[in-house]
Chains A and B, each alone.
Chain A
Amino acid sequence: MTVSTDQHKEGKKDVTFRVFRFNPQVDSKPYFDDYTIPVERGVTVLRSLNYIKEHIDGSVSFRAFCQAGICGSCGMRVNGLSQLACTTQVWDVLAKSREPGIIKVEPLRNLPLIKDLIVDMDPLVDKMKHYANWVDSTMPEAQMGKKEFLISEEEFLRYDKATDCILCASCVSECSILRANKEYVSPAVLLKSYRMNVDSRDSMHEQRLAELVKDHGVWDCTHCYRCQESCVKSIPIMDAIHGIREDAIESRGKNDTSGSKHAEAFMTDIEKKGKLVEATLPIRTNGVVWTMQNLLPMAMKMIMKRRTPPPPPLVKSVKGIKIFRTMFREMTEHVKQDHKSHKK
C-alpha cells in the first residue's frame, strides 16, 4: 500500500521520514527513527505521518485535528523549518531537501517538549494572559448586545490580517530571541497585542502598552524577520511589532525605556551621518554608568583578543548625505501623516 490521493498515478517516490522521538517515561534523551514509505505527488506531510502511525508504528505521537490548515494543531519543524504538517506537500519539501529522499520531522522549538512531536503550549497561553490578549470592551457588560459599534473598513483592515493568526506557534519556534530568553513575549503574542491595541472598542491600550515596553517585551525584538518568514498565514508580524514600537514612542515618549532611547539614537545617527556611531550608541541607550559597568569590560576584552576592532571615535557622514537627509525627512513626514490619519 502507498499513501495515495488516487489522483496522480504518474509519480511515486520512496521517502524516508526521519522522525524525532522522545518518550519521557523511558528515554533519557531524544533520538530519530527512520520510516521509509512510498509517497505520491499531492500528499502532505501530515498524511504521511498518519500513514506511518497507522501502518508502521502506532507510537509515533503528534497532534492533528482539522487537517485543513485552520486549527493550528500540527505545527512542527519539517527539514528545519516550522510549519503546519497538514498544508505542507511532501514533494515540495523533497525538492528543497539537502539530503535527497530524506525529510526530517522535529517538534517546534522554544516550547517545552512533551513527547515526540508534541510540545507544551501552556507557556504561550500564559503570555497571552500576561499581555491581556483580549479586547477589554469600552461597553459595560450589562449594555452588551443592544447596539453595534460602528467600525470603518479602514479600521477593520488594520487588524484584519492579524486576526488570521491560528496560534500554531511556528513563529514562536523560529524566533531567535526566544532561543536565548524563554521569558520573551514572543511574536504571536506581540501580534495579538497589536491587534487589540488598534481596536477602537478596546479600553486598556495604555496598560497593555505599559506591560509591552517592560523587560522581555517589544523592544527585545532584533528584527530578524524569522517570525514573518515562517508565518503559515503570511501575516506581516513585523509590521505589528513596529506598530507597537511606534505607538510606544508616540504615547510614552522617546525617553521611556532603553528600548525607545536605542531606537531614537539609531534615528539620530542615521539622519545625521547616514550610518551608526557605534562607540556612543550604548551610552545613549543605557547611560554612562550602565555602559561602564556592563559593556566596557567585555568590549575591552574583545578588542584585546582582536574579536572586534576598536570603534572609531569620530564617524564621518556617508557620501551623498545631503540627498539622503532630504529623502529621510520626507519618509519621516509620510509616516507621521499615516499615523495621523489612522488616529482619526
Chain B
Amino acid sequence: MKPFDIVIVGGGGAGLYAAMEAMKTNPALNIAVLSKVYPNRSHTSAAQGGANAALGNKAKDDTVEMHIFDTIKGSDYLADQDAVDVLCSEAPKIIRELENMGTPWSRMDDNTIAQRPFGGAGRPRCCYCSDKTGHTILQTLYEQCLKKGVIFFNEYFALNLSVGGSRSNGLIAMNMKTGKVEAFPAKTVIFATGGYAKMYWNRSSNAAGNTGDGQAIAYRAGIALKDMEFVQFHPTGLRKSGLLVTEGARGEGGYLLNKDGERFMARYAPEKMELGPRDLVSRSLETEILQGRGFDSPAGKYLHLDLTHLGADLIKSRLPQIREMSMNFEGVDPIEEPIPVRPTAHYSMGGIDTDNQTRTVMEGVYAAGECGCVSVHGANRLGGNSLLDILVFGRIAGRTAAEEAGKFTPGTISEAELAAQFEEIRGGMHPSGRYERYGELREALGQTLALNVGIFRESSLLQKGISEIAVLKERFKKVRISDSSDVFNTNLMQVLELKNMLDLAETVAAGAYARQESRGSHTRIDFPVRDDSNWHKHTLATLVKGNVTLGEKPVTMGRYELQERTY
C-alpha cells in the first residue's frame, strides 16, 4: 500500500476533527482514518450533556479566565495550566466553528447558542443540543468529513505500531471483513481511540468497545502512559446497566435523594449541592450507600435521582433520551417516579502522555481526546470538558501532524512482520488441552477492578487487585477463540480487546497503589488527604521488559497557586 502522510486511528470526535483539520492545513496530504466501527457509531455519540465554552450567551459576565480557573480547580490542581489555557481559550472559537458547519445547537430566546449550568462550573457555560449533544457533534463531523472526501477504512481493528528504532513505520491493523492483517505505512500516526473505562465492564457507562486500544498499542510500543490511576466515576449511572444519566439532568434541576428522602448533597457540598464536581458527588453517593442510607434491591444498592418536580414538559423537551433510557433499562418513567442510580466508571483522565501539541515521546506519533493525556483534566474532569477536549486537541493533532509529516520519511512494514502479527492473533484459535473462556476472564477483570480499584481505594485492596490482574493475564494466555472464521470474527476482536484492557488494568492498579494520597477521583482511605509536597506530580507508566515501570513528570503551574479544593 502507498504510504500515508497521516494515519488516524479512531473515528470519534477527536479523530474526525483531526482528519478535517489536517486536510484543511494541507489538502495535498494522503490521509486515512481507521476505525473499528463505522465512525458515526463512535462513543462520542453517547455524550449527552454538552461542551463548555465561555460564550457568555447565558451569563454575560462569563469569561475564559473563569473557565480556566474552574477547570484547574476541578482537576484538583493536577492539570497542566498551560494546557488548560489552550483548552479554554480555544473553546468559544471551536463551538462557533461547529455551529457554522451545521451542528444543531439548542437556542436561547435571542437565537444564540443555548447554555446551561454544569457541575463544578462557576457560570452556566455548557453548550448543548437537548441531551444528544455528542450525537449531533459526531454527525456534523462525519458529514463534513464525507464532504471533504476523507478516506475511511471502516471496521479495521488496530493491532500494533510497527516500530523501527526510535520511530514508527506505521500501523498494523486487521480488516474485519476479510480477517487479513494489513500494513499502513505512514509518516505520522494519530491515536484517537477514546477511553479505557470499559475495563470496569458492568460498572461502566462506556460502550463495549471503549477498551483503550490506542493506549495499549502505544504502551506496547514503549510510549509512556500518564496518570492512568485517575478514572472518573460518574455519580448517576443506571442501577442495573451502569448506563449514564447525564449531569444535564441535575443541571436542569434534578435532586439526589437518599432513602429518607433527604437531599444529602447538603452534607457534602452545601453551596453547589447536586452540581458539585463529579468526584465529590460520586463519593457522596457511595458514602450514603456505605452508611446505610441507600435503597436496597437484588440489583444492588442505589439512590434516587428525582426529576418529577421538573414537570413533563421540561423532561420531554430537554431530557428526552434520559426518559427513553430510564423506561427501556429500568422500567421507570422519570416524569412519574425517581430514577434509581449509583456511580459508574465513566471516563479515563489518564492516557497517552503528550505535550500541548499532542506529540508523544515517539517522533511522528500523536494522541488526542480521551486517548491522550495532555493533561487538561488532571485528577478529575469537569462535565462538559470532554467534548471540548476532543474538539480542541483533535484539531491541534490534525494540524500538528499535517505540518510535521513533511519532516519524516515513511517507514516500510515487511511481509514477515505482518505474518508474525497474523500468527500471534490467530494463536488462540485452536488450543489443545485446557483453555480459558473469554467471558469469564472479562467478567473477573471487571469485578476485581470494581472491588479493589474502585471509588474508595486502600493499600491491601490494591495489592489484591494487582495480583488478581496478574493471574488473569496468565490465564489469558490460554484463552480460546471459538469462532474460526476469517470473515468478521467478532469473537477474535473481543479477545484482542480484552488483551488491551488487561495490559492497561495493570497500569491503573499500579498507579493507584503508588499514589499515596487522595486527589480528585483517586481516593485512598489510608491516605485521605491531598499531599502536595510528595504527590503534586503526574505518574508515568512505561512497559519495560514486560513489566509496568512507574516514573513521574512535574505539573506545569501558572497563574493559579495550589489551594484547598472546596465546593
Contact = CB atoms under 8 A, between A and B. Distances in A.
Q: Which of B300, B325, B490 has the most CB of A within 10 A?
A: B490
B136 A149 contact: no
A29 to B, nearest CB: 16
B259 interface: no
Contacts of B438: 54, 58
A159 interface: yes
Contact of B487 (A114, A150, A164): A114
B151 interface: no
Contact of B177 (A65, A114, A159, A201): A114
A224 interface: no
B207 A135 contact: no
A145 B100 contact: yes
Contacts of A202: 102
Contacts of A156: 104, 106-107
Interface in B396-414: none
5 contacts: A115-B488, A121-B154, A136-B147, A153-B111, A201-B102
Nearest to B42: A71
A61 interface: yes
A147 B437 CA distance: 55
A245 B45 CA distance: 31
Interface size class of chain A, counting residues whose CB lies under 8 Å from the partner chain: 35 or more
Interface of A: 5-7, 9, 23-26, 42, 53-55, 57-59, 61-73, 87, 89, 114-116, 118, 121-122, 125, 128-129, 132-137, 139, 141, 143-153, 156, 159-160, 163-167, 196, 199, 201-202
A41 B439 CA distance: 22
Contacts of A153: 107, 109, 111
Contacts, number: 184
Contacts of B135: 70, 163, 166
Interface stretch (B90-98, B305-313, B532-540): B90-98
A57 B482 contact: yes
Contacts of A25: 485-487
A7 B239 CA distance: 10
Given A67-B207, A135-B101, A145-B97, A24 B487 contact: yes
A160 B135 CA distance: 12
Contact of A23 (B38, B40, B113, B487): B487
Contacts of B110: 150
A58 B40 contact: no
Contacts of B321: 70
A66 B47 CA distance: 11
Given A58-B482, A73-B41, A145-B100, 8 more contacts: A59-B482, A66-B41, A70-B135, A71-B45, A134-B143, A134-B146, A145-B96, A156-B104
Given A65-B41, A67-B208, A68-B243, A139 B487 contact: no
A118 B488 contact: yes
B45 A70 contact: yes
Contact of B96 (A23, A133, A144): A144
Nearest to B43: A66
Contact of A128 (B93, B146, B491): B146
B129 A66 contact: no
B102 A135 contact: yes
Contacts of A139: 100
B460 interface: no
Contacts of B143: 128, 133-135
A40 B94 CA distance: 47
Contacts of B102: 134-135, 137, 196, 199, 201-202
A67 B209 CA distance: 10
B487 A125 contact: no
Contacts of B147: 132, 134, 136
Nearest to B24: A141
Given A55-B439, A61-B488, A144-B101, A42 B240 contact: yes
Nearest to B480: A58
Given A68-B46, A70-B45, A150-B111, A137 B101 contact: yes
Interface string B107-129: 10111110000000000000001
Contacts of B482: 57-59
A148 B546 CA distance: 51
A151 B41 contact: no
Contact of B299 (A6, A62, A71, A72): A6
B130 interface: yes
Contacts of B94: 145
Nearest to B47: A70
A162 B143 CA distance: 14
A7 B46 contact: no
B41 A72 contact: yes
A86 to B, nearest CB: 9
Nearest to B152: A125
B483 A133 contact: no
B96 A58 contact: no
B521 to A, nearest CB: 22
A7 B298 CA distance: 5
Contacts of A128: 143, 146
Given A148-B112, A156-B106, A42 B331 contact: yes
B96 A147 contact: yes
Interface string B445-483: 000000000000000000000000000000000000111
Contact of B208 (A64, A87, A118): A64
Q: Which of B41, B43, B110, B298 has the most CB of A within 10 A?
A: B41
A123 to B, nearest CB: 12
B110 to A, nearest CB: 8
B139 interface: yes
Nearest to A165: B139
A73 B485 contact: no
Contacts of A159: 104
A24 B489 CA distance: 12
Contacts of B355: none
Contacts of B240: 5-7, 42
Contacts of A23: 485, 487
